[in-house]
Chain A
Amino acid sequence: MYKIEAKEVSVNYKDFQALKNVSFSLEGNKIYGLIGRNGAGKTTFLSLLAAFQEASAGQIQVNGEDVFENPEMMEKIALLYDVDYKDETEKVKNMLEVAKRYRPNYDDEYAMYLLERFKLPLDKPINKLSKGMQSAFNVVMGLACRTPITIFDEVYLGMDAPTREIFYKELLEEQTNRPRMFILSTHLVSEMDHLFDEIVIIDQGEMLLHEDYESLVSKGVSITGDADVVDQFTQDKEILNEQRLGQTKAVMVYGTLGNDELEKARDNGLDVGPVSLQDLFIHLTDGEES
């Protein structure tokens, strides 16, 4: 089991601070969802974990050891992202060969299974693959390396919906069979929320929250019913989102309902349900999702 700990990590670029004093700890074989708006610092944060760069200040450790330039740790962490492959003339199989040589847990058989699953050719140069296939290749690489810490940074970009479904399915399957720590950063919150055990939200270079999925989505409730009744019921509450269809209205509210409120809602013929992670995310990062 692996534990990642970040202590007061900052990253400064020339004239702006991408991460400001971020501290957190991630532990165990879970799937973490890392969400944040464009430019929130997700990629910077992930590139630190994978030792692609060094923090300007603070410490990133895995199991108590610094990650940067640490051969034991670096070989255990893989970061897959939306790579620009336009100049990559290497064939799929050769790219996998490199992974096979440098990743101790790489599984060839599993890689071949995944290639077939995503219908990827072994003998084609990467730059001749479609965008979606290149993304699928990154997924294959990340899954087949079986690194104890595997990071997918918006790796689904360019994949069509059916391919993304395969990705989600294979990811969950792998997590059931060979559990490890996955960190997935995404914009597709509503589509991927079912994958996450825990959620980390980064906003404007700062850690906004880190909670398990269940307790996070229980921070809000959706109330559905007759529009007038819903309006009256929610008038003094913090509204995340509302939708109306004819006389029926659904309102997402931030905060929990007490027992008497729940009873009151039921008496008024209102349906009370969970809120979506997407709505919470938009509310918490204060604005429309881009």
Chain B
Amino acid sequence: MNAKKVTIDMLYEQMKWAFIFLSVILLIQISFTVISLLKEFSRGDFLLFSYNSTPIFMLIIGIISAYSFLPTYVKQGVTRKDYFLGGTLSGAGVAVGLTVSSILITLIEHEVIGLLNAETQLDTWTNQMGGTWLSAFVFYCFSIIIFYYIGWLIGVGYYRYGWVVGFGFIAVAIVFMMVTDFLWESEVWKNSSDWLPLELSHISVMLSVVGSLIVITVLLILIRTITRRIRIKM
């Protein structure tokens, strides 16, 4: 079954990129930690810090998925359906991989800081996200998975319709990002809550998960509809 092979191959390739990405972010975080110890300012832990850039990373590899993997696989006789399944599963796999790695790095970070008895105040992601590692995992993972699918949607939209219509896909993508942010109460929601006549800031995690699953389903249906009969450019 080619879908399985595509999943494994895409996952392997994308995890390589994720590894490089994480290494860079980790180096920056370590530098910040050293500086903060010397200059005594507060900063976020690794999970909090990495969340600044991980969604963008996921968005970009989602876009790349359309442009590099789709033509490569179809040219090797893989069906669009198998590519779609492979892309869907590998995207989720990368999200889980990145989340687990980030949580592990963060746990180690807290350990090390504790062992050093360092006088540093860490803002933690877990505190902001309900206080447990599980809620942190769910939040982080769902947010970045959605970003991957949003990137993928932009990618396949551009690939199929060219850049003029492609801009429309960016508009659609922004709407999806706002919905995602809204679901998980981050910046956009915090900003828009000033003018939205609703008081929804206490949506439970359960509701966020269900909402995210709906967003993911809609995204995947759109991606599949666009790629079902897509013409491979020569």
Contact = CB atoms under 8 A, between A and B. Distances in A.
B75 A74 contact: no
Contacts of A47: 231-232, 234
Interface in A230-273: none
Interface residues of B, number: 18
Nearest to A69: B79
B76 interface: yes
A51 B76 contact: no
Interface in A73-94: 74-79, 81, 83
B2 interface: yes
A161 interface: no
B77 A147 contact: yes
B78 interface: yes
B123 interface: no
Contacts of B5: 101-102
Contacts of A75: 2, 76-78
Interface string A266-285: 00000000000000000000
A76 B2 CA distance: 13
Nearest to A79: B75
B9 interface: yes
A99 interface: yes
Interface string B203-234: 00000000000000000000000000101101
Interface string A53-85: 110000000000000111100111111010100
B162 to A, nearest CB: 12
Contact of B79 (A54, A70, A99, A103): A70
Contact of A74 (B72, B77, B234): B77
Ranked 10 nearest A-B pairs via Cβ? A75-B77, A53-B231, A102-B76, A52-B232, A74-B77, A69-B79, A71-B79, A54-B229, A81-B234, A98-B76
